[in-house]
Amino acid sequence: MKTRYPAVEGSFYPSDEKELEAMLKSFDSNVRFEKKGRPRAIISPHAGLIYSGQTAAYAYKYAEGEKYRSAVIFAPSHRVAFYGISGADYDEYKCCGKSFTINRELLEKLSKNNGIISIDQAHEHEHSAEVQLPFIQKYLDVESIVVFVYGETDYMKISYVMDDIISENKDIIIVSTDLSHYHPYEECNRIDSVVAEGIKELDAVRAGKGEACGMPGIRAVITSAANKKLKPEILDHRNSGDIINDRSGVVGYLSAVFI
Protein backbone atom coordinates (compact mmCIF):
# COMPACT_ATOMS: atom_id res chain seq x y z
CA MET A 1 0.00 0.00 0.00
CA LYS A 2 1.57 3.26 -1.13
CA THR A 3 0.30 6.15 1.00
CA ARG A 4 0.65 9.91 0.70
CA TYR A 5 0.68 11.41 4.20
CA PRO A 6 -0.39 14.97 5.11
CA ALA A 7 2.17 17.69 4.49
CA VAL A 8 0.37 20.83 5.70
CA GLU A 9 -1.89 19.52 8.45
CA GLY A 10 -1.65 21.84 11.42
CA SER A 11 -0.60 24.82 9.29
CA PHE A 12 -3.01 25.22 6.37
CA TYR A 13 -5.83 23.57 8.32
CA PRO A 14 -6.24 22.35 11.92
CA SER A 15 -4.73 19.00 12.85
CA ASP A 16 -7.37 18.50 15.52
CA GLU A 17 -10.40 16.87 13.90
CA LYS A 18 -12.93 18.56 16.17
CA GLU A 19 -11.38 21.98 15.56
CA LEU A 20 -11.42 21.35 11.81
CA GLU A 21 -15.03 20.20 11.94
CA ALA A 22 -16.04 23.35 13.84
CA MET A 23 -14.24 25.55 11.31
CA LEU A 24 -15.97 23.88 8.36
CA LYS A 25 -19.33 24.11 10.12
CA SER A 26 -18.80 27.85 10.61
CA PHE A 27 -18.03 28.32 6.90
CA ASP A 28 -21.06 26.24 5.96
CA SER A 29 -23.42 28.40 8.00
CA ASN A 30 -22.53 31.45 5.91
CA VAL A 31 -23.10 29.93 2.46
CA ARG A 32 -26.11 31.12 0.46
CA PHE A 33 -26.95 30.48 -3.20
CA GLU A 34 -29.71 29.33 -5.53
CA LYS A 35 -28.72 25.96 -6.95
CA LYS A 36 -29.32 25.58 -10.68
CA GLY A 37 -27.95 22.13 -11.52
CA ARG A 38 -25.41 19.36 -10.95
CA PRO A 39 -21.82 20.64 -11.07
CA ARG A 40 -19.49 18.83 -13.44
CA ALA A 41 -16.50 20.94 -12.37
CA ILE A 42 -15.67 23.46 -9.66
CA ILE A 43 -12.96 26.04 -8.98
CA SER A 44 -11.79 26.25 -5.37
CA PRO A 45 -8.92 28.13 -3.66
CA HIS A 46 -6.12 26.47 -1.71
CA ALA A 47 -4.70 28.96 0.79
CA GLY A 48 -4.85 28.38 4.51
CA LEU A 49 -8.45 27.74 5.50
CA ILE A 50 -8.69 30.82 7.72
CA TYR A 51 -8.19 32.87 4.55
CA SER A 52 -9.81 30.88 1.73
CA GLY A 53 -12.01 28.31 3.46
CA GLN A 54 -15.19 30.37 3.28
CA THR A 55 -14.81 30.79 -0.47
CA ALA A 56 -14.07 27.08 -0.97
CA ALA A 57 -17.16 26.11 1.03
CA TYR A 58 -19.41 27.78 -1.56
CA ALA A 59 -18.20 25.56 -4.40
CA TYR A 60 -18.28 22.32 -2.44
CA LYS A 61 -21.66 22.93 -0.86
CA TYR A 62 -23.07 23.49 -4.36
CA ALA A 63 -22.10 19.89 -5.15
CA GLU A 64 -23.45 18.49 -1.88
CA GLY A 65 -26.07 15.79 -2.35
CA GLU A 66 -24.84 14.81 -5.81
CA LYS A 67 -23.32 11.40 -6.46
CA TYR A 68 -19.96 11.04 -8.21
CA ARG A 69 -17.58 8.15 -8.70
CA SER A 70 -14.42 10.17 -8.06
CA ALA A 71 -13.24 13.71 -7.36
CA VAL A 72 -10.47 14.53 -9.83
CA ILE A 73 -8.20 17.31 -8.55
CA PHE A 74 -6.04 19.47 -10.84
CA ALA A 75 -3.54 21.45 -8.76
CA PRO A 76 -0.49 23.58 -9.59
CA SER A 77 2.96 22.67 -8.30
CA HIS A 78 4.44 25.22 -5.88
CA ARG A 79 7.56 23.38 -4.71
CA VAL A 80 8.84 21.22 -7.58
CA ALA A 81 9.64 22.59 -11.04
CA PHE A 82 8.86 20.24 -13.92
CA TYR A 83 7.23 20.11 -17.33
CA GLY A 84 3.89 18.42 -17.84
CA ILE A 85 1.24 16.84 -15.64
CA SER A 86 1.97 14.33 -12.89
CA GLY A 87 -0.59 11.80 -11.68
CA ALA A 88 -0.38 10.90 -8.00
CA ASP A 89 0.97 7.34 -8.05
CA TYR A 90 -0.41 6.34 -4.65
CA ASP A 91 -3.05 3.93 -3.41
CA GLU A 92 -4.42 6.38 -0.86
CA TYR A 93 -4.14 9.89 0.57
CA LYS A 94 -4.27 10.35 4.35
CA CYS A 95 -5.89 13.54 5.63
CA CYS A 96 -8.20 14.67 8.45
CA GLY A 97 -7.82 11.29 10.13
CA LYS A 98 -9.32 9.63 7.04
CA SER A 99 -8.05 7.64 4.07
CA PHE A 100 -8.99 8.72 0.56
CA THR A 101 -8.72 5.86 -1.93
CA ILE A 102 -7.09 6.64 -5.27
CA ASN A 103 -9.09 5.46 -8.29
CA ARG A 104 -6.16 3.66 -9.89
CA GLU A 105 -8.19 2.48 -12.86
CA LEU A 106 -9.27 6.03 -13.76
CA LEU A 107 -5.80 7.43 -13.05
CA GLU A 108 -4.15 4.91 -15.34
CA LYS A 109 -6.75 5.36 -18.08
CA LEU A 110 -6.46 9.14 -18.12
CA SER A 111 -2.67 8.95 -17.89
CA LYS A 112 -2.41 6.52 -20.79
CA ASN A 113 -4.79 8.49 -23.00
CA ASN A 114 -3.06 11.82 -22.36
CA GLY A 115 0.63 10.99 -21.93
CA ILE A 116 0.65 11.84 -18.22
CA ILE A 117 3.74 11.03 -16.18
CA SER A 118 4.20 10.46 -12.44
CA ILE A 119 6.70 12.34 -10.25
CA ASP A 120 6.34 11.49 -6.56
CA GLN A 121 8.26 14.58 -5.44
CA ALA A 122 5.63 16.82 -7.04
CA HIS A 123 2.99 15.42 -4.69
CA GLU A 124 4.83 14.76 -1.42
CA HIS A 125 4.75 18.30 -0.03
CA GLU A 126 2.22 20.01 -2.33
CA HIS A 127 -0.54 21.83 -0.44
CA SER A 128 -2.76 22.84 -3.36
CA ALA A 129 -4.35 19.40 -3.67
CA GLU A 130 -4.24 18.47 0.01
CA VAL A 131 -6.31 21.41 1.26
CA GLN A 132 -9.20 20.27 -0.95
CA LEU A 133 -9.54 17.04 1.04
CA PRO A 134 -11.31 18.41 4.14
CA PHE A 135 -14.02 19.80 1.84
CA ILE A 136 -14.26 16.60 -0.18
CA GLN A 137 -14.69 14.69 3.07
CA LYS A 138 -17.44 17.03 4.32
CA TYR A 139 -19.45 17.64 1.17
CA LEU A 140 -18.86 15.18 -1.66
CA ASP A 141 -20.44 11.76 -2.09
CA VAL A 142 -17.49 10.10 -3.85
CA GLU A 143 -15.96 6.66 -3.71
CA SER A 144 -12.40 7.79 -4.51
CA ILE A 145 -10.14 10.58 -5.71
CA VAL A 146 -7.58 11.16 -8.46
CA VAL A 147 -4.89 13.83 -8.08
CA PHE A 148 -3.01 15.58 -10.87
CA VAL A 149 -0.33 18.16 -10.11
CA TYR A 150 0.96 20.15 -13.06
CA GLY A 151 4.12 22.12 -13.63
CA GLU A 152 4.99 24.15 -16.71
CA THR A 153 2.43 23.02 -19.27
CA ASP A 154 0.10 24.14 -22.03
CA TYR A 155 -3.40 24.51 -20.62
CA MET A 156 -4.81 22.64 -23.61
CA LYS A 157 -3.09 19.47 -22.39
CA ILE A 158 -5.01 19.77 -19.14
CA SER A 159 -8.21 20.52 -21.06
CA TYR A 160 -7.88 17.27 -23.05
CA VAL A 161 -7.86 15.34 -19.76
CA MET A 162 -10.87 17.28 -18.52
CA ASP A 163 -12.72 16.60 -21.77
CA ASP A 164 -12.34 12.87 -21.18
CA ILE A 165 -13.69 13.22 -17.63
CA ILE A 166 -16.67 15.37 -18.59
CA SER A 167 -17.58 13.07 -21.49
CA GLU A 168 -17.82 10.08 -19.17
CA ASN A 169 -20.08 12.04 -16.75
CA LYS A 170 -19.17 10.02 -13.67
CA ASP A 171 -16.70 12.26 -11.86
CA ILE A 172 -16.38 15.84 -10.64
CA ILE A 173 -13.41 18.01 -11.61
CA ILE A 174 -11.82 20.21 -8.94
CA VAL A 175 -9.59 23.04 -10.16
CA SER A 176 -7.43 24.24 -7.28
CA THR A 177 -6.18 27.82 -7.56
CA ASP A 178 -5.73 31.12 -5.81
CA LEU A 179 -5.81 34.35 -7.81
CA SER A 180 -3.41 37.31 -7.73
CA HIS A 181 -0.79 37.54 -4.99
CA TYR A 182 0.42 40.46 -2.86
CA HIS A 183 -1.03 43.45 -4.70
CA PRO A 184 -2.75 46.25 -2.79
CA TYR A 185 -6.43 45.57 -2.13
CA GLU A 186 -7.96 47.61 -4.98
CA GLU A 187 -5.36 46.45 -7.49
CA CYS A 188 -6.05 42.84 -6.53
CA ASN A 189 -9.76 43.34 -7.13
CA ARG A 190 -9.09 44.89 -10.53
CA ILE A 191 -6.78 42.07 -11.66
CA ASP A 192 -9.00 39.31 -10.29
CA SER A 193 -12.14 40.73 -11.87
CA VAL A 194 -10.55 39.99 -15.26
CA VAL A 195 -10.33 36.31 -14.34
CA ALA A 196 -13.90 36.30 -13.04
CA GLU A 197 -15.19 37.89 -16.26
CA GLY A 198 -13.28 35.32 -18.33
CA ILE A 199 -14.92 32.52 -16.37
CA LYS A 200 -18.41 34.01 -16.69
CA GLU A 201 -17.94 34.50 -20.44
CA LEU A 202 -16.17 31.12 -20.94
CA ASP A 203 -13.33 33.11 -22.47
CA ALA A 204 -9.97 31.49 -21.69
CA VAL A 205 -8.03 34.27 -23.41
CA ARG A 206 -9.65 36.98 -21.28
CA ALA A 207 -9.17 34.99 -18.07
CA GLY A 208 -5.52 34.56 -18.97
CA LYS A 209 -4.99 38.31 -18.80
CA GLY A 210 -5.43 38.12 -15.04
CA GLU A 211 -3.21 36.36 -12.52
CA ALA A 212 -3.52 33.00 -10.78
CA CYS A 213 -1.07 30.34 -9.62
CA GLY A 214 -3.43 27.79 -11.20
CA MET A 215 -4.06 29.74 -14.42
CA PRO A 216 -3.47 26.70 -16.68
CA GLY A 217 -6.20 24.86 -14.73
CA ILE A 218 -8.57 27.83 -15.00
CA ARG A 219 -8.05 28.21 -18.74
CA ALA A 220 -8.36 24.45 -19.19
CA VAL A 221 -11.70 24.15 -17.38
CA ILE A 222 -13.07 27.19 -19.23
CA THR A 223 -12.10 25.58 -22.55
CA SER A 224 -13.57 22.21 -21.64
CA ALA A 225 -16.75 23.81 -20.29
CA ALA A 226 -17.19 25.68 -23.56
CA ASN A 227 -16.54 22.50 -25.57
CA LYS A 228 -19.07 20.53 -23.53
CA LYS A 229 -21.67 23.32 -23.35
CA LEU A 230 -21.50 23.72 -19.58
CA LYS A 231 -22.70 26.90 -17.90
CA PRO A 232 -20.46 28.75 -15.41
CA GLU A 233 -21.50 30.48 -12.22
CA ILE A 234 -19.29 32.51 -9.88
CA LEU A 235 -20.29 31.79 -6.29
CA ASP A 236 -17.85 33.80 -4.19
CA HIS A 237 -15.03 36.25 -4.95
CA ARG A 238 -12.97 37.99 -2.29
CA ASN A 239 -9.41 38.43 -1.08
CA SER A 240 -7.47 38.15 2.16
CA GLY A 241 -8.00 41.87 2.80
CA ASP A 242 -11.69 41.10 3.36
CA ILE A 243 -10.71 38.72 6.16
CA ILE A 244 -7.81 40.45 7.92
CA ASN A 245 -7.09 44.17 8.44
CA ASP A 246 -3.94 44.33 6.31
CA ARG A 247 -4.84 45.41 2.76
CA SER A 248 -1.34 46.40 1.63
CA GLY A 249 -0.59 43.09 -0.08
CA VAL A 250 -3.44 40.62 -0.44
CA VAL A 251 -4.24 37.30 -2.15
CA GLY A 252 -7.39 36.75 -4.22
CA TYR A 253 -9.81 33.81 -3.94
CA LEU A 254 -12.70 32.71 -6.13
CA SER A 255 -15.10 29.78 -6.25
CA ALA A 256 -17.16 28.79 -9.28
CA VAL A 257 -19.12 25.87 -10.67
CA PHE A 258 -19.71 24.60 -14.18
CA ILE A 259 -23.12 22.97 -14.65
Question: Residues 188-205: pLDDT tens digits?
Answer: 999 999 999 999 999 999
Q: Cα–chain-centroid distance for residue 17? A: 22
Phi first, then psi: what are they for 226, rounded to 5°? -65, -45
**Mean pLDDT for the chain?**
97
**Domain coverage including residue 131:** 3-258
Quote the pLDDT of residue 141. 95
Domain count, the chain: 1
In the chain, where does DSSP find H-type helix?
17-29, 49-62, 104-114, 121-124, 127-130, 133-139, 155-168, 185-200, 204-207, 215-227
Q: Cα–chain-centroid distance for residue 130? A: 10
Segment 109-138, tens digit of pLDDT: 999 999 999 999 999 999 999 999 999 999
Segment 46-84, tens digit of pLDDT: 999 999 999 999 999 999 999 999 999 999 999 999 999
Cα–Cα distance measured from residue 245 to residue 258, given in angstroms and rounded to the nearest whole number: 32
Residue 138 sits in a domain whose CATH number is 3.40.830.10
Reported pTM: 0.97
Largest distance between two CA atoms of the chain? 49
Residue 71: CB atoms within 10 Å? 27
Q: What is the mean pLDDT of residues 9-13?
A: 96
